[in-house]
Amino acid sequence: MTMDDRPNPDQILKQVQAQYSTRGKLKIFFGAVAGVGKTYTMLEQARARKSEGIDVVVGVVETHNRPETQALLESLEVLPRKSILYKNIEIGEFDLEAALKRRPRLVLVDELAHTNAPGSRHTKRWQDVEELLDAGIDVYTTLNVQHCESVNDIVAQITRIIVRETVPDAVAESADAIELVDIPTEELLKRLEEGKVYLGPQAELAAEHFFRLGNLIALRELALRYATRSVGSKLRSYRDLHAVSTVWKVGEDFLVCISSSPRAMQIIRAGRQMAADMGAGWTVVHVKSSVFPQKAEDRERVAGMLRAAEAMGASVVTLTGEDMVETLLAYARSKNIGRILIGKPGRPRLREHLFGSFVDTLARKCGEIDLYLISGEAGEETPRAQRAPAARIPWTATLWAIGTVGLCTAIDALLYPYLARANLIMIYLLGVAWLAYRHGRSISILGTLLSVACFDFFFVPPIYSFTVLNKEYVLTFAVMMIVGLIIGSLTGRLRGQTISLDLRERRTQILYSLSRDLAKSSRPDELFQILLSHIHSLFACPAIVFTADSATRTVSALTAVGDARDYLSTNEQAVASWVYEHRRIAGNGMDTFAGARGLYIPLVGSREAVGVLGVFPRDPKQFLDPDDFHILEVFIKQTALAVEGAELAAEHIKAEAELGRARVRNVLLDTATFDTRNALAAISESASLLLRPEVMADEARRKALLEEIIMQAKQLDTLAAELPNILDELKQS
């Protein structure tokens, strides 16, 4: 077997881990639309499993009053639904706590994409399923293709209906089995007419809109393709495991470049589908300019899209550079990525001609890198009522511009009798440069316009008039304007780079300081305190660390910084306990326990969770910025590894001490049981026998006596060598 024919060790490890994992198995009954028989098939297979002796429980099943479906429930145990009061209406939801307490072998949870009523533990039903799987419970569930996140836009284009309830593709792809439930389109329409899909007016409405023949055909093909991708993924894993020689690597890694436009979410979904189709790794990249600051609403929108991309399984990166095209291409080349996915330009053509087009520049400079343009025509635009208000005029900076130009004019008025007009222009350019460095490019442009106007009004004949008699001054004004804009742009760019470098240096210093401080201590409580102090220093928010008792697994607050203890309550403690048990982020800003006051992140080392960090940001949107959140994750990972290392070191010291005590005990026992006098007597007797001629003549006997002498001497030598060490250890103890 050659090196290329050997099985992939990573794939073998995954197979072994999957085989011995305690996580439950997930099976999805997948279909194109409602009415194809997903729930019916799921119940049939559940009854078959029960007949095999498997403990089966129905968590929640929507029969939609179909008699044949309701009949299948008769022989199955059904959990009562949990009643939740919402706006004076009682809503029956899946009782996750009851299912976890009952702990059957298999639970049936219908409609994976369902949104739970407010007040439930999780926002989405697929999160309930994830918790069941983590508890070691197998789950059967159902899912329609329109609820898959990566094809949501395609479904909207086909049906003209935007489906709001979606499931991350990572959840569907993690299923151990996906069974496609499919029937011909004509038979489905017949079932709809017979009232076997919807009843009454709902059926008529569905037939007029969603259940059109063209829609059903397209959705059926989409479902078949999605199921095929799942099978293809498992086939690739099989080929990797068995080192099939005909394997051809499908696809290559690629980048998805997004802007702050609301339509960028469609580009991410297109990238997710492309990655799934081709089996490629993908990274979502947002490039920020170091010259022009980003608006707050744009930062929040980008942060939300990057978090959504992470939920879809992408790696996310935020890059900052003076030349955004060069920054993107440099990153792509450094990662050996040969393809970039980007949206079509949406700027007006006049604006592109004046300020340039990012896409055109990227197309010219990308060289060997392939560029894919994705359409942005879907209705992903933010509704008018929800759009951010127009940016406010920076009145303070504007007043500074007016005051600076006024000061330059006053200085020029004093110097006017002594200097030529060309030299007076330099005073204005100095003011423009200061405005650019202090307030940015836009204010420097305002300062340039005011400077030209003031120079014309106060120093160009006829004075105190904007009339220009000498046309040569028109060229002077144009040059002054161009030079002022260039100086303002360069100075503003320098200011942006300085701010970016200062921020990067500050964060680097904080990370270095954290690593240095963590290396100074080997006590977990001190390490946690170091983490909290650095979080408070960087993010200026209260924080607290929870630890769990190794025996009872009960989470309790260990140490805190700021007024974090004022935020604690029974509910907050329960969220921290859940995070510790499931090793997942939850709390404020997350889908799980979104109503909590704090954001809770597990401190997970290389082996297990060593605690939970709770942070209580003053601004709920503070950690929506991926950069801040990733720095927080680095803090947590370093601290968790340091705590784990300290615990391992303590265990090692304890084991060494126990080993030393065992060695002392063994030597003492050997000494007590060793008969020194008999050993010496045996050596003496053997030596005496060797002196006899008849023994010396007998080669076999002589050899046996010599071996006896050597053996007894070695035992005495070992004992003599160990005794001083034992005495020293006894003195020290």
Q: Which single residue is written with the structure tokens 């000061």?
A: 407
439 and 529 belong to one structural domain: no
- Name 315's bridge partners: 283
**75 within domain boundaries:** yes
Domain boundary among 335, 356, 380: 380
110 and 221 belong to one structural domain: yes
**142 vs 321, residue with greater confidence:** 142
Compute the distance between CA of residue 50 and CA of residue 36 in angstroms, rounded to an integer.
Answer: 24
**353 within domain boundaries:** yes
Radius of gyration of the chain (CA): 37
Q: Which single residue is written with the structure tokens 């639970």?
A: 107
> CATH number of the domain that 220 lies in?
3.40.50.300
The C-alpha angle 321, 327, 331, rounded to 5 degrees, equals 130
Return the pLDDT at 78: 92
Q: Mind giving me the DSSP string for 559-589?
A: EEETTGGGG--HHHHHHHHHHHHHT--EETT
Rounded to 10 deg, the angle between the 9-20 and 213-242 helix axes is 110
Compute the distance between CA of residue 408 and CA of residue 419 in angstroms, rounded to an integer.
Answer: 14
Rounded to 10 deg, the angle between the 626-673 and 472-519 helix axes is 20
- Strands 555-561 and 543-548 turn out to be antiparallel
Domains in the chain, number: 5
267 and 341 belong to one structural domain: yes
Q: What distance lies between CA 483 and its chain's CA centroid? A: 46
631 and 721 belong to one structural domain: no
137 and 181 belong to one structural domain: yes
Contacts of 93 (CB under 8 A, 6+ apart): 60, 81, 82, 83, 84, 116, 117, 120
What number of CA atoms fall less than 13 Å from residue 198's CA on the CB side? Answer: 14
The answer to whether residue 661 scores a pLDDT higher than 60 is: yes
**Closest among 556, 598, 4, 74 to 246, alpha carbons compared:** 4
Q: Mind giving me the DSSP string for 30-56?
A: EESSTTSSHHHHHHHHHHHHHHTT--E
234 and 269 belong to one structural domain: no
Structure tokens at 613: 């960090």
First to last CA, the chain: 58
Domain boundary among 352, 380, 408: 380
108: confidence class by pLDDT, cuts 50, 70, 90: very high
167 and 197 belong to one structural domain: yes
Which of 521-535, 550-564, 669-683 has the least mean pLDDT?
669-683
Return the pLDDT at 610: 82
**174 within domain boundaries:** yes
114 and 65 belong to one structural domain: yes
Compute the distance between CA of residue 519 and CA of residue 530 in angstroms, rounded to an integer.
Answer: 11
Q: Which single residue is written with the structure tokens 């100075």?
A: 491
> CATH number of the domain that 345 lies in?
3.40.50.620
Domain boundary among 242, 270, 299: 242
Compute the distance between CA of residue 56 and CA of residue 46 in angstroms, rounded to an integer.
Answer: 7
Return the pLDDT at 654: 74
Contacts of 640 (CB under 8 A, 6+ apart): 603, 604, 605, 609, 610, 611
- Name 254's bridge partners: 282
The answer to whether residue 352 scores a pLDDT higher than 80 is: no
> CATH number of the domain that 626 lies in?
3.30.450.40
363: confidence class by pLDDT, cuts 50, 70, 90: confident
Torsion angle in degrees (nearest 10) through CA of 508, 513, 516, 518? -110
**207 within domain boundaries:** yes
**504 within domain boundaries:** no
**667 within domain boundaries:** no
Element (H, E) at 601: strand 599-604
**358 vs 723, residue with greater confidence:** 358
- Name 321's bridge partners: 289
Structure tokens at 64: 């939609």
Instruction: Quick: pLDDT tens for 536-578.
Output: 877 888 888 888 776 556 677 777 777 777 778 888 888 888 8
Return the pLDDT at 350: 53
Q: Which amino acid is at 539?
A: F
**385 within domain boundaries:** no
Structure tokens at 456: 């014309």
**211 within domain boundaries:** yes
335 and 364 belong to one structural domain: yes
199 and 333 belong to one structural domain: no
453 and 581 belong to one structural domain: no
133: confidence class by pLDDT, cuts 50, 70, 90: very high
Cα–Cα distances in Å, from 344 out to 253, 264, 360, 469?
Answer: 21, 10, 10, 49
pTM of the predicted protein model: 0.54
Q: What distance lies between CA 159 and its chain's CA centroid? A: 32
Provide the domain limits for residue 459.
395-497
554 and 533 belong to one structural domain: yes
Return the pLDDT at 246: 35
Instruction: Quick: pLDDT tens for 386-406.
Output: 333 444 567 787 888 888 888
